[in-house]
Amino acid sequence: MEKLTAEQILEIFEKNEISNDRFGYMDYNSEKLGLGEVKEIEQHGGEGEGESWHSVQYFKDHDVYLRVDASYSSYEGTDFSDSEIQEVRPVEKMVTFYE
The tens digit of pLDDT for each residue in 25-68 reads: 999 999 999 999 999 999 988 766 668 899 999 999 999 999 99
How confident is the model at residue 45, as a pLDDT? 81
d(CA 88, CA 66): 6
Q: Contact 61/37 with Cβ under 8 angstroms?
A: yes
How confident is the model at residue 72, as a pLDDT? 86
The fraction of the chain above a pLDDT of 90, given in percent, is 74
Burial class of residue 90, CB neighbours in 10 A (0-12, 13-18, 19+): exposed
Angle at 78 between CA 9 and CA 34, to 5 degrees: 20
pLDDT at 14 over 80: yes
How confident is the model at residue 71, as a pLDDT? 87
Report the predicted TM-score, pTM, of the whole model to 2 decimal places. 0.87
